[in-house]
Every structure is written in structure tokens, then in C-alpha cells.
Amino acid sequence: MVLKSNEGSNMKSTLLAAALCVATVCSVSAHAQTDTTFTYQGQLNESGAPANGSYSMRFKLFDALAGGNQIGSTFIINPKVVADGLFAAELDFGAQDFSTGQHWLEIIVYGDTLAPRQAVTGSPYSIQTRGINIDDDGNVAFNSMEAIEGLFTLSSIGGIDVVIDADTNNVGEDQNARIIMRQDGGVANSRMGYREATNILEIMQEYNDNLVLGTNNTDHLTINTAGNVGIGEYPNFNMTLLAAGDVWRGVEGRTSSTFENSAGVKGLASASSGLTYGVYGENRSTSGAGVYGENTLSGGSTIGVLGRVMGTSGRAVLGEATSTTGNTTGVVGLCFSDGGKGVQGSSLPSTGTGKGVVGWAGSSNGYDFYAAGAGINYGSSSSIRWKSNVVNVSNPLDKLAQLRGVYYDWDEEHGGQHAIGMIAEEVGKVLPEIVGYEENGVDAIGMDYSMLTPLLVEATNALRAEKDAQIKKLEVENQLLKARLDRLERMMVLIADQ
């Protein structure tokens, strides 16, 4: 930035006990630095002749020609060498905004304030730079004849324009927050941003041609002028069309990939909150499928349907049977392998209170989990092959004595019915291994009643051992009493014979 001052007037000053005539600076210039320092150049006359020697100078920056407010701190140069009346001073008033309002320099030489203050003005190169046009309202244009209100414009002679539209008052065609691109003399147009007078975000191809999304210079999703959508190939169909017939599918996904963990249909709900759905399928036919995934590979860890959700309360897969009557099913899992799984639920984190499978029945006469097959109703891996540090449960009778069975009534949120069971927080004080807690570590979420079985077994064994020991003790005491009775009978016989 270059600064320039106006001609000043002379004033009288007593300097070093001599009568001196000190003239104000008659010219000033400055050029931009990489920091907040700029160079001030001036001329100092002493008794009507160019001054020579060292002088104490102070510089102040004000927002008015007279009076006003001082900006920044006073800059002191002591001494300053003046040769043939000319001097240059490196001034620094800190990070001030010279683009708003007028500024004036006040100069003090050996205590004498020179008047008037010198105006700090801008250089023409700070107003306009080649190829950049900035109007009085701050609108910016590159390679354009003039800046347009509310716009940031890049253009070229060949008819290629990129316009960044600034949202000011949401009125008029050129007031949307968007990017507009033109080429071929303005014939081909596209835009990305907010639709006029709305908060709808759009990506629009105004020209009669395809809209393509891709990565690595490869087309991955194409929308043609008819609205058909293609993923991975040219669009030949509209994804919203439903096939006619007795069995139809809203979306059908198939994978023939030889890679493991391939998926026919993959749904991802990545919202961090809210009721989101990884995959949502709805079927109103009498024999169709809301979501149908098929993976035809005979090997590998393949997946017919994979649902994934990252929301705090979302559902990766949701099955709904909305009929209020009949024997309907929300989710069905079928397995035709003699060692497979119809439905598998896994909670992968090694900490916390995750749940592999959750069942919920809203009726007090219903079942949260119901097993009706010919197999074992409940099973858990328990082979000694996977266990170490095996020891018996210690003091089982003492632990059992600290537990209690209770009757209680559930609150409305949990069904409201009368039930029998235990208090998880009480059980956790005795058997913390079988109780899950909230993050506060105080309020229990639930407990595994099945894990009470080892305690009951050991308590029964301890009780049996205790009773066996008592019986053994009584048997010994009975034998001693019998021996004493035998001796007493013999003594009585001897006494009777005498």
C-alpha cells in the first residue's frame, strides 16, 4: 500500500534554546510490507533551510483531521537522522484496517506538534489490480468488465463463465447462494446451490444432456434427459418403476462377485442421530418381498442383504408386519444348511451392554422370546476347550442368602403387568458378572437369569455336603450312644446277678 500526504504549513518552535522554523512534511510515501510496517518519507526544514542532524520524532494515527480518536499507540523514533531535510521512517501502528474510513498522521518533533495532520491516502494499485474488479459494495469479478451485485464472477473471452452467487436478500434471480457455470458462449448452463427463493439444494444440468457422477475419471451414476438412472452403467430404466406380475420387487440387487463379503443390496444410514433406516422395504402384494437380496455364490462369506446404520437410534434392518390380525411375521430368517443359522445377531464391542438380539412383545400375554421348534429352546457355547482358570463358585450359600425373589408390577412403558423375578441392582451387589448397567454404573439395564443356575448348582452341592456332614456326625454320635447303652445294660445285668 502506498500512502501520500498533503502540503503542510510552517510553525514556530523553540528547539535546543534556538529559534527554529520547523516546516511540516511536504511529501510522504509508503509501500506495502509483509507485516504491518510501512515506510513514511518526508522533508524537514530548519530556519527556512533543509535540516541536518538527529531529531526526536513521534507519530500518531487519528481518524479525523482535527480532534477525533487516536488509532493504535504512539510510534516514537529517537533519534532520527535527517540529511538535506529528507528522512524516512518505518512506522507500525499494528494491524489496522486502512480500507475503511480516512486516517491522518500527526507528527511531533522535539515536543512541537506540526499542523495540520497529514492525510493517509491509498495508491491506485490498491483500488484496482489487473484482472480483478471490485466495486464499491465489495462485489468481486475476475476477467470481467464489471462486478455484478451479489456475485463473485470468473470469466474468459471464450464464453466460459463461473459465477458464485451470494445470498443477500433472497429476492431476484441473482440472489441465490449457488455456483453457475456456462460454456459455448452461454448456451450450456449448469448450476449447483440453492433454488431461487427457497432453501432447496439442487444440482441442475440446464443443458439437454446427461448428468454424471463418478470418481477416478470413471462414470458411476448417470441420469439421462428422460430421468432414467444408471449405477455403474448407462441408464436404461427408471428406478421408480415396478415390474408387473405376481411377484415383484421395488429394488432388486444381485452380486456375482467372487470377492468375499460382497453384497446384493447394501443400505447405509450414516446420520448420527434421528430415526434412520439402512434398508427400508415395503411390500403390499400378497406374495412379494419388501426387500429381497440374493447372493448366488456357493463359497465365501457372502451377504444377501446387508443393513448398516450409524445413527444413535436408527435401525440397520427393520421388518414390519402392519396387519392388526392374522399370523404375520416382521422378519423371517431361513437356513437350508444343516449347520447354518436362520437368524444371527451379534454385538461386536468388547465393552458396554450391547445386545445381539432383542425381542419385544407389547402385550402382557405375549412373549419377548418364544421358541416353538423341536430343537433345544436355549443353547450357549460351553465347551471346556474355550475356557481357562476354571474354579468353583465360592461361598454359594452365603451368596444365595443375600438374594431374594419378589413379586412386582412393571411400569406402563414395560407392559404394566404383574410379575415375579428379582431386583437387578440387588443381584449386581452379589453377582456383578450377570448384571448389565447404564453408563453411570448405578442403574441396571438387565440381568441374565440363566446365569443364576451355576450358583444354584453350587449352593445345592454345598447344602448337600453340609447335610451329609451333619448326617455323618449324627451317625457317629448314634454309634457312641449305642455303645454306651450296651455297656450300661451289661452293668445292670451284673448288678442284678449279685
Q: Domain residues of the chain, as ranges?
A: 10-126, 128-209, 393-498
Percent of the chain with pLDDT over 70: 69
Asked if 39 and 57 count as a contact pair (C-beta separation under 8 A), the reply is: no
Q: Which three cell numbers stand for residue 414?
A: 414395560
- State residue 397 phi and psi, 5-degree precision: -65, -35
CA distances from 3 to 38, 113, 130 (A): 9, 21, 20
Question: Which pLDDT belongs to residue 235?
Answer: 63
Domains 10-126 and 393-498 share a fold: no
Q: Please name the amino acid found at residue 358.
A: V
What is the reported pLDDT for 8? 33
Residues whose CB is less than 8 angstroms from the CB of residue 216 and which lie 6 or more positions away in sequence, other chains included: none
pLDDT reported for residue 131: 59
Task: Give per-residue pLDDT as tens, 47-80.
Answer: 888 989 999 999 999 999 999 999 989 999 888 8
Residues 278-304 pLDDT 10s: 777 776 666 667 777 776 666 666 677
- Give the pLDDT confidence score for residue 277 in this predicted structure: 73
Task: Quick: pLDDT tens for 137-194.
Answer: 656 666 555 555 545 566 554 555 667 765 555 455 555 777 888 777 777 788 888 8
* Cell numbers at 128, concatenated: 484496482
Return d(Cα 164, Cα 153) in angstroms, integer.
6
Q: In sequence order, what are the beta bridge partners of 109?
A: 57, 112
Residue 110 pLDDT greater than 80, yes or no:
yes
Q: How many CB atoms lie within 10 A of CB 106?
A: 20
Domain range 393-498, CATH architecture: Orthogonal Bundle (1.10)
d(CA 444, CA 427): 10
Going by pLDDT thresholds of 50, 70 and 90, the confidence category of residue 199 is confident
**What distances in angstroms separate CA 484 from CA 96, 103, 175, 470, 487, one per listed residue?**
116, 126, 116, 21, 5
Which of the listed ranges 215-229, 363-377, 402-416 does the model predict with the highest average pLDDT?
A: 402-416
pLDDT of residue 403: 94
Note the pLDDT tens digit of each residue in 348-402.
888 777 788 888 887 777 788 888 888 888 778 889 999 999 999 999 999 999 9
Phi, psi of 213 (to 5 degrees): -120, 140
Q: Please tell me the pTM assigned to this model.
A: 0.40
The share of the chain scoring above pLDDT 90, in percent, equals 18
Q: Is the pLDDT of residue 254 over 50?
A: yes
**428-463: pLDDT as tens digits:** 999 999 998 998 989 998 999 989 999 999 999 989
Output 285 or 127, whichever has higher pLDDT.
Answer: 285
Task: Tell whether the model's pLDDT for residue 258 goes beyond 80.
Answer: no
pLDDT value of position 72 = 87
CB distance 289 to 329 below 8 Å: no
- Tell me what pLDDT residue 175 has: 59
pLDDT for residue 287: 67
pLDDT of residue 9: 32
Phi, psi for 477 (deg, rounded to 5): -65, -40
Tell me the pLDDT tens digit for each residue of 458-468: 999 989 988 99
Choose which CATH entry (1.20.120, 2.60.40, 3.30.70, 3.90.920) describes domain 10-126.
Answer: 2.60.40
Supply the pLDDT for residue 264. Answer: 63
